[in-house]
Amino acid sequence: MPIALYNTLTRKVEPFTPVTPGRVRMYTCGLTVYDYGHIGNFRTFVGVDILQRFLQSQGLALDTVMNITDVDDKMIARSNEAGRPLAEYAATYTAAFLEDMASLRILPAQHIVRATDCIPDMVAWIDRLVAAGCAYERDGSVYFRLSSFPAYGRLSGKDIAGLQAGARVDVDEYEKEEARDFVLWKAARPNEPTWPSPWGPGRPGWHIECSVMAEKLLGPTLDLHCGGTDLVFPHHENEIAQVEPLTGVPFVNCWIHMEFLLVNGEKMSKRLGNFFTVRDLTDKGYRPSAIRYLLASVPYRRQLNFTLEGLDQASASLLRLRNFLDRLRNADLPPSGDPNPAIATAREAMLASLADNLNTAEALGAIFELVRTSNIALDRGTLATADREAILETFRQFDEIFQVLTPDEASSEGISDAEVNALMEERAAARAARDFKKADALRQQLESHGILIEDVKNAPARWRRK
């Protein structure tokens, strides 16, 4: 199926064609591990995951890289405040990040690279930029010379014609109005970790890590580069400038940027303090699958306003899908020849919506329409076994990408299907042995996990989740 994606560089939805047919080289900017990730961060990572899983479902092989920013201005400030060595501080939040990613069922990149693991590569790359005349040293720091790269500003639509030549910016994050010669290497300062370099001890600026890792592991030309929309300027603009003068070819063919998760109309961010972590929400009893569902339900280029009511609705929608599947699996259906063609039409609509720049809302619409018509057919007794197989296959393809239907194993009420089945078997054995006290205790145990049991005459009891 032809895939179309919105490319920030061209400002158009374009047909997606990887450089190497059948293989996609894809880079995602990861987390700055100075704290737990918030669900705004995870909106971006869930969006990237839907993209990855959709590409895989279309038969494409992926080569994926994600960085972990474990040294930058914020990391150093926070580890100093906490009085903990940078590496140890970063390790705590890197582990938490990977755990949260797993609980949200986000496929880990094949290469997850810490910035501090590739500092010699960064130093070598900066050295080449200096030799090529694109960078220069001042007082032990090295800056990128903006005037050496006329294409600067193409990605963000920034016009740099009137910039003051030679003005410099030392911080990692800044606004468009402050576009200047930006820092590649920062000279040592008190209370900062340092590494050796030809310009004396120091540490890398933030922007260089992604350029160097992406070029080394996926270059010279990447098919996709992803991140939140706040990274367009200056981070991604700088990434392009750091790579293209040395490779002479486009760094990235298609730039993908995820829109913000908002709270009361403002970007969810650490700085504003208006954030929830995944842990905050699971502590309140929400399930990671419901969080993922909510984050995935709005197409990635639309802003998503987060509320707890919205998360309640996401949980309810998910329950509706799971209950429908329970009903379908357990229904006594007449056998029949061919499935109703409307089921294949729904499946095609779901996949076509995703192929159209990942329109997840429309894909979910197709799935809920299938639930609605199938429930009516179940009520009327017009659904047959071949239909059931076709519907289950549609849901399998849906969940290959959305990853929300399997119940969460590690939630507060967490109990896996395998555990439920084992307890059900134990209960059946107790009943067969007429040990009704034990059977009742097992029923209560299952109910406490939200499992409803339905005893059936002359057949094994059935169960479903509340």
- In the complex, the residues that contact ligand AMP under the rule CB under 6 A are 29, 31-32, 40-41, 43-44, 227-228, 230-231, 258, 260-261, 267-269
Q: How far apart are CA 203 and CA 182, in angstroms?
A: 14
Question: To the nearest whole angstrom, how small is the minimum distance from the Cβ of residue 358 to ligand AMP?
Answer: 15
Cβ proximity to Zn ion, 38 vs 236, nearer residue:
236
Per-residue tokens: 40: 């705004």
Residues 374-413 that bind Zn ion (CB under 5 A): none
Q: Of all residues in this chain, which one has the CB nearest to ligand AMP in the complex?
A: 228
Q: Which of Zn ion, ligand AMP, none has residue 8 at its interface (CB below 5 to 8 Å by kind)? A: none
Q: Which of Zn ion, ligand AMP, none has residue 41 at its interface (CB below 5 to 8 Å by kind)? A: ligand AMP
Q: Which of Zn ion, ligand AMP, none has residue 31 at its interface (CB below 5 to 8 Å by kind)? A: ligand AMP
Cβ proximity to Zn ion, 251 vs 324, nearer residue:
251
Question: To the nearest whole angstrom, how small is the minimum distance from the Cβ of residue 329 to ligand AMP?
Answer: 36
C-alpha atoms less than 13 angstroms from C-alpha of 274 in its C-beta half-sphere = 15
Question: To the nearest whole angstrom, how small is the minimum distance from the Cβ of residue 29 to Zn ion?
Answer: 3
Give the C-alpha distances (Å, rounded to integers) separating 265 from 64, 257, 312, 450: 33, 19, 19, 36
Q: Which of ligand AMP, Zn ion, none has residue 230 at its interface (CB below 5 to 8 Å by kind)? A: ligand AMP
Question: To the nearest whole angstrom, how small is the minimum distance from the Cβ of residue 23 to Zn ion?
Answer: 22
Q: Which of Zn ion, ligand AMP, none has residue 40 at its interface (CB below 5 to 8 Å by kind)? A: ligand AMP
Question: To the nearest whole angstrom, how small is the minimum distance from the Cβ of residue 164 to Zn ion?
Answer: 26
Q: Are strands 61-68 and 111-114 parallel, antiparallel or unpaired?
A: parallel
* Residue among 29, 50, 55, 358 that touches Zn ion (CB under 5 A): 29
Question: To the nearest whole angstrom, how small is the minimum distance from the Cβ of residue 210 to Zn ion?
Answer: 3
The amino acid that residue 160 corresponds to is I
Let me know: does 239 contact 214? Beta carbons within 8 Å. Answer: yes
Residues 85-144 that bind Zn ion (CB under 5 A): none
Q: Which of ligand AMP, Zn ion, none has residue 261 at its interface (CB below 5 to 8 Å by kind)? A: ligand AMP
Q: Which of Zn ion, ligand AMP, none has residue 420 at its interface (CB below 5 to 8 Å by kind)? A: none
Cβ proximity to ligand AMP, 53 vs 78, nearer residue:
78
Cβ proximity to ligand AMP, 74 vs 322, nearer residue:
74
Q: Which of ligand AMP, Zn ion, none has residue 210 at its interface (CB below 5 to 8 Å by kind)? A: Zn ion
Cβ proximity to Zn ion, 42 vs 463, nearer residue:
42
Q: How far apart are CA 435 and CA 449, in angstroms?
A: 22
Cβ proximity to ligand AMP, 173 vs 393, nearer residue:
173
Question: To the nearest whole angstrom, how small is the minimum distance from the Cβ of residue 250 to ligand AMP?
Answer: 21
* Residue among 50, 76, 183, 210 that touches Zn ion (CB under 5 A): 210
Question: To the nearest whole angstrom, how small is the minimum distance from the Cβ of residue 267 to ligand AMP?
Answer: 5
Q: Which residues pair with 224 in a beta bridge?
A: 26, 254
Q: Which of ligand AMP, Zn ion, none has residue 267 at its interface (CB below 5 to 8 Å by kind)? A: ligand AMP
User: Could you list the residues that contact Zn ion (CB under 5 A)?
Assistant: 29, 210
